Amino acid sequence: MFPASSLLTTLVLALAVSANPVVIRDSLVKLPLARRLNTTSIHNLIRHDLARAKYLRTRGEAVAKGLEFDAAAAIVNEPVDNQAVSYIASVGVGSPATTCTEYTDTVTLASGLVIAGQSIGVASSVSYMLDATVDSSDLSHSQATGFDGTDGILGIGPTILTQGTLSPATSTLIPTVTDNAFSKGLITANQIGISFEPTTVEEVVNGELSYGGVDTSKFTGTITFAPITTTSPASFYWGINQSIRYSTSTTILSSTAGIVDTGFIKGTTLVYIATDAYNRYRTATGAVLDNTTGLLRITSTQFAALKSLFFTINGVAFELTANAQLWPRSLNTAIGGSASSIYLVVSDIGTSSGQGLDFINGYAFLERFYTVFDTANKRVGFATTPFTTATTN
- DSSP result, 49-64: HHHHHHHHHHHHHHHH
CB 180 within 8 A of CB 109: no
Task: Give the phi and the psi of residue 331 in degrees, each rounded to 5.
Answer: -110, 15
Q: Which helix (H) or strand (E) holds 339?
A: none
Sign of the CA dihedral running 372, 373, 375, 378: positive
pLDDT digit string (tens) for the chain, length 393 residues: 444 333 333 343 333 333 334 333 444 777 777 766 655 444 567 877 888 788 788 878 877 777 665 554 444 333 333 345 665 555 555 544 433 445 677 777 766 678 887 776 665 444 433 344 444 333 333 444 444 555 566 665 666 666 666 666 767 777 777 778 888 888 888 888 889 888 877 677 778 888 888 999 999 999 999 999 999 999 988 899 999 999 999 999 999 999 998 754 456 889 999 999 999 999 999 999 999 999 999 999 999 999 999 999 999 999 999 999 999 999 898 888 999 999 999 999 999 999 999 999 998 999 999 999 887 788 999 999 999 999 998
pTM exceeding 0.85: no
Among candidate residues 284, 263, 247, 265, the one with its CA nearest the CA of residue 361: 263
Instruction: Read off the amino acid at residue 217.
Output: S
DSSP 279: H
Residue 238 makes CB contacts below 8 A (sequence gap 6+) with 14, 228, 259, 260, 261, 262, 373, 380
